[in-house]
Chains A and B, each alone.
Chain A
Amino acid sequence: MDTIVGIINYIVFFAITAGTYGILSLGLNIQWGYTGLFNIGIAGFYALGAYTAALVSGPPPGAWDGRIFGGFELPFLVGLLAAAVVCGVVALLVGIPTLRLRADYLAIATIGIAETIRLVLKNESWLTNGVWGLQQIPSPLYGPIHRGISRFLSGHPGLPLWLHDLISKSYNWFYLLLVLGILLTLYLIMQRLVRSPWGRVIKAIREDEDAAAMSGKNTFSFKLQALVLGAMIMGIGGGLYAHYARFISPASFKPLYGTFLIWVMLILGGSGNNKGAILGSFVVWGIWAGTDFLTGYFPFTATQAASLRIIIIAILLEVILLWRPQGLLQREKPPLGDIPKNKS
């Protein structure tokens, strides 16, 4: 029974993480999948969202903290909203100088902003507590739910041990529902959006920007909007991570996790398809977790195993690019109902 409880707890943990990545992947899908914007600074927006949410909703600096600012203990949703807004503003600042130029410039600038954010998190201790990071970030409704669980357990002393274990960790089920709820909501909003007139313009820009500009669309403005929107969604993903992990530091946001894995998720799932974005995040996170077990069977050191896992994911990316660039799910064909019929 113990192993089954362990597996269930692992699956819940797995799904929370994959769901968070699904949100990031949806954000990237608006930028890359639908508009064709090459953002490789996802890690930066992810970290920025996490830190913003933690500073807005977290506790004030403790006695041992180096920081002197932040910790307003505002509600969870306010923190998420702030994370989205801050990420949106930063995306705006990155987009303005680069979106009129070739894709390369946006790519370089997004890597630059991600690196700059990382340096600020590491060096500005007054705000971020430097390498020690932010601690005791509250998980939403943790207190009431945990009290309920304890009351239930003390009221039912005769429970078998495995059931006791399972129930005592059931807060994570609540968090999973929360993440999946937000993921679903964002998915539905994105589906509406990409089928709206706005969505048709960004898809037109992806296919042929000059043609879209010729038909009178201000392509710069639409690209900027898509970049900002995607970054805001990434910020929400970062906020959800902070509230689940309850502790964040600059080391939590290596360029690999934040950026590369999300890219592989989106490309494998199928860029330009929101279902693909979510599917990809679960599949790639599954592969990533699977390689952890796999490398455990070989006599590698921990750093060697970590390197090997990244090499596997890098090869996976190249294989997809060479042999199945469209990913698992293809772009959605526009339904015929989208085309206005002539009333003749």
Chain B
Amino acid sequence: MQMLSRIPQLLVYGVISGSILSLGGIGVSLTYSILGFSNFAHGDIMALGAYIALGLFALFTGLGIPNTSFGPLSFGFGFILSFILAMGLTALAVILLDRFLFKRLRRSSSIILMMSSIGVALGLRNVLQFFWGPQPHYYIEKIQLAIVIPGVGVRIKPDQVFIIIVAIASVGLVHYFLQHTKMGKAMRATADNMALARVTGINTERVILWTWVIGAALAATAGILAGIENKFITPELGWQMLLSIFASVVLGGLGNPYGAILGGMIIGLSEEVSTAFISTGYKPAVAFIIMIIMLLVKPTGLLGKRR
């Protein structure tokens, strides 16, 4: 019973980690559906975003930009500014990566692109490690008291509420973008059939550019939110989450951004709840087993289209 009484609290943690996985998963899913390959560098793009924010935050603090905490949150204006700029700079870095690498491989098979993304993954992670070292870095070293929600008795920190709100807002924006903007519709058309989209006059290179921008901005968001949740970041941050992100994306249906959100939530919740029963070290293995079961039952995933 001891184990079961922890479950409501674990569900809260599950929603938080599910929010982060979902944001990571949307980018993987978009890259897969538009560019046709699984981007193994996505985790390390998340880490890149988290470190850019770290660097900017240190810079702004040095410049004297105030960071008085917003209400109960552990950070203020300086950090939010770093957060937003890091999203943009990560997108810029990824666009450069596309220009110099992925664009030249556009005509290669998807496996060559996957392989090249593994090279990018290791390269990026070690660039971060070269400059910042393998040790953890802290955004803000401040202990935050959790709020106890009366009735259910679960505890949640204000920063964790912030994570969930940012995730919901991002998902809302992505939904609006895909359904109601011209570029979003072009993106969905390109995902369906790139040749047909091109024939109808859609500039597919622009679509690809936007895919990278949205994927990278969300990756940076996920990386920074993971940094807020864990309290620290390391160069391995993204790599450690990559398997769970892929499991989420496959579970929801590879190539479907809504599936990535659903899958992310399910994987996040399962990983956290599993810690009531087995060692916390096995979280990625839990995600992996769920993914394998899904592949055996319905390989197209929960929301996947039939091929």
Contacts and interface: CB of A to CB of B under 8 A. Distances in A.
B115 A111 contact: no
B123 A314 contact: yes
Interface stretch (A52-60, A114-122, A232-240): A114-122
A311 B110 contact: no
Contacts, number: 126
Interface stretch (B19-27, B172-180, B280-288): B280-288
A332 interface: no
Contacts of A120: 285
A311 B112 contact: no
B76 interface: no
Nearest to B121: A314
A104 B114 contact: yes
Interface stretch (A79-87, A136-144, A300-308): A300-308
By secondary structure, the B interface counts as: helix
Interface string B286-307: 0110011001100100000000
Contacts of A98: 295
B126 A311 contact: yes
A108 interface: yes
Interface stretch (A180-188, A279-287, A316-324): A316-324
B129 A307 contact: yes
Contacts of B234: none
Given A108-B38, A115-B243, A311-B127, A40 B118 contact: yes
Tell me the interface secondary structure of chain A in the complex.
helix
Contact of A38 (B111, B119, B134): B111
B67 interface: no
A104 B288 contact: no
Contact of B112 (A100, A107, A321): A321
Interface residues of B, number: 43
Interface stretch (B57-65, B80-88, B139-147, B246-254): B246-254
Contact of B122 (A97, A105, A111, A314): A314
Given A97-B292, A105-B250, A111 B243 contact: yes
Interface string A289-308: 00000000000010110011
Interface in A245-281: 256, 260, 263, 267
Given A101-B299, A105-B295, A116 B127 contact: no
Contact of B115 (A256, A303, A310, A321): A321
Nearest to A317: B119
Contacts of B250: 105, 108
B130 A304 contact: yes
A104 B296 contact: no
A325 B108 contact: yes
A168 interface: no
A88 to B, nearest CB: 18
B284 A321 contact: no
Contacts of A315: 119, 123
A314 B247 contact: no
B274 interface: no
B120 A109 contact: no
B301 to A, nearest CB: 11
B182 interface: no
A329 B307 CA distance: 38
Contact of B116 (A103, A109, A256, A317): A317
Given A123-B281, A303-B129, A318 B134 contact: no
A107 B116 contact: no
B230 interface: no
A104 B32 contact: yes
B295 A307 contact: no
B169 interface: no
B279 interface: yes
A229 interface: no
Nearest to B246: A108
Contacts of B111: 36, 38, 103, 107
A113 B246 CA distance: 13
Given A38-B114, A311-B127, A115 B295 contact: no
B112 to A, nearest CB: 6
A116 B120 contact: no
A70 interface: no
A236 B218 CA distance: 42
Contact of B119 (A100, A301, A314): A314
A66 interface: no
20 contacts: A40-B40, A102-B110, A104-B32, A104-B37, A105-B295, A115-B284, A116-B284, A116-B285, A267-B115, A303-B134, A304-B133, A307-B126, A307-B129, A310-B126, A311-B127, A314-B119, A315-B119, A317-B119, A318-B120, A321-B112
Interface of A: 36, 38, 40, 97-98, 100-105, 107-109, 111-113, 115-116, 119-120, 122-123, 256, 260, 263, 267, 301, 303-304, 307-308, 310-311, 313-315, 317-318, 321-322, 325
Interface of B: 32, 37-38, 40, 101, 104-105, 108, 110-112, 114-116, 118-120, 122-123, 126-127, 129-130, 133-134, 242-243, 246-247, 250, 254, 279, 281-282, 284-285, 287-288, 291-292, 295-296, 299
Given A116-B284, A317-B115, A317-B118, 7 more contacts: A38-B115, A105-B295, A108-B250, A307-B127, A315-B123, A321-B116, A325-B112
